[in-house]
Amino acid sequence: MSATKLKSINCTQCAAPLSLRGGRYVESINCGYCGAVLDAKHEYSVIKNFVKAKRPYLPLKLGMSGKIKNVEFTIIGVIEFQHSYDHSRWIEYLLFSPTHGYAWLEHDHGHYVFSRRVRDLPDGVMQQYKTTFRARDRKFQVYDFYDATVTFVEGELTWIAEQKDKVHVTEGIAPPWIYTIEKTAKEKEYLFGEYMDYKEIEAIFKPDSALLEPEGVHGAQPYIPHPFVAGLGRAGLFFAPVALLLWLAVVFMGSGQPVFQDRIPADEYLGNQQGATRNFTITNPDRLVELNLYSGLSNAWGWYDIEILQHNEPLFSMSQLISYYHGREGGENWSEGSRSATALFRLPEAGEYSLRVWGEGGTGEYDTTAQRAELDINITEGIIVSRYYLFLLIFFALMVYSRRHFRNRFEKQRWGDDDDD
């Protein structure tokens, strides 16, 4: 009897009906009912049995057909492998096309890889993790070395499978491509595969129930950013340079023009009920005015009350704290606080204004004996605040970085939490 002429047979051990779909290179039929392995070249005689082989979850079934890369393939065989290290299991479906021969469709925790046997040998040494080599005109990185054991077989295969057969696997990836060397005691095969989205597989084979979503990241899985993340990245690439130019323009053009500079002795603003008064003139009221205070305090604090007046009428008032402490401890110098303070405000119109300042302070939390330090006052008009543009630049830069961040996180999941990544 020939598998190319028969459409089905009965298992010669349990009489269960077995379909034949795999062409003349099929060497064994594996009964999914009793575990018998039948020799396709010798009247389907029983060669051996898969003892107590637990049937795995099979999202796709024998006999399902669909077009992959515009070629009609039929699932003719199923083989389950177990990883020698972490004992995880995955399924490989043997596919058959009357015009294009045999291929494999791997199913590993919701991930799918379509592979064909090739004769292209790798150009390079595949003996170290993450080293590169070339094959099929592509650059690959060595992704994994492991041994796998056959745990379940069903349907037709182009060889006679043994329970607990072992295969040594070397994988290199160039997502979405994967290059695999499978070595057994009898032969060595070279496979070239491509990662396929589970939704695409679902559309091709149309299983009775929806396929499960993938778990984790597969070695050959390409990084496809979420549409929202991709949109953020594109927007950031466009707006970040604009924000940078605006920020630079504001930094260089929005620093303003000085309208007042003076150093006020401590006797004028400390302990004087009238305070120290100075006049200044504003010519550009449409922009902000910056008031900068600097005091030579040392290991002390100062509290400064300030009024802005026009025609001797207060417009508004503000308070500013300046404190600066320093010393040496444990062989190292230390300091905290600042000797300066800055305030921004807006004046209603151009013209002459007055600034009045009072002060008090001390050398500790409860010490109110003011340190008699001179106070430098600088007033600048025409200020454009650059920090808002800087925040905008940082925001858009983070949008650009978000794409890189999510990609890096994806790659760490692919390769594991290696410090090298």
At 421 the pLDDT is: 40
Specify the DSSP class assigned to residue 109.
T
Helix ranges (DSSP H) in 195-342: 198-205, 227-253, 266-269
pLDDT surpassing 50 at residue 5 = no
Q: Which helix (DSSP H) or strand (DSSP E) does residue 394 occupy?
A: helix 387-415
**Residue ranges per structural domain of the chain:** 8-205, 257-383
Contacts for 34 with CB less than 8 Å, ≥ 6 apart:
11, 13, 14, 16, 49
Q: What confidence tier does 270 reach under pLDDT thresholds 50, 70, 90? A: confident
At 93 the pLDDT is: 97
At 157 the pLDDT is: 93
At 420 the pLDDT is: 45
Cα–Cα distance measured from residue 14 to residue 403, given in angstroms and rounded to the nearest whole number:
57
At 363 the pLDDT is: 83
Taking alpha carbons only, the member of 359, 339, 379, 342 closest to residue 276 is: 359
CATH 2.60.40, applies to 257-383: no
The reply to whether the predicted model has a pTM over 0.85 is no
At 368 the pLDDT is: 65
Q: What confidence tier does 87 reach under pLDDT thresholds 50, 70, 90? A: confident
Q: How do residues 180-239 score in pLDDT, each as one tens digit? A: 999 988 889 999 999 999 999 999 999 999 999 999 999 999 999 888 888 888 888 888
Q: How do residues 342-376 score in pLDDT, each as one tens digit? A: 999 999 999 999 999 999 888 876 666 777 889 99
In 84-232, beta strands by DSSP E: 89-97, 101-108, 111-118, 132-135, 138-157, 166-174, 177-183, 188-196
Taking alpha carbons only, the member of 47, 12, 61, 30 closest to residue 152 is: 30
For the record, the structure tokens of 29 come out as 């039929």
Give the pLDDT mean for 131-155.
93
pLDDT surpassing 50 at residue 405 = yes
Q: What confidence tier does 273 reach under pLDDT thresholds 50, 70, 90? A: confident
Cα–Cα distance measured from residue 222 to residue 174, given in angstroms and rounded to the nearest whole number:
9
- Averaged pLDDT of the chain: 89
For the record, the structure tokens of 285 come out as 């009221």
For the record, the structure tokens of 252 come out as 């260089």
pLDDT surpassing 90 at residue 124 = no
Q: Angle formed by the axes of helices 387-415 and 227-253, to 10°?
A: 150
Q: How do residues 6-16 score in pLDDT, each as one tens digit? A: 588 999 999 99
83-87, 95-99, 164-168, 415-419: range with highest mean pLDDT: 95-99
Taking alpha carbons only, the member of 383, 381, 398, 346 closest to residue 250 is: 383
Taking alpha carbons only, the member of 195, 148, 198, 147 closest to residue 174 is: 195
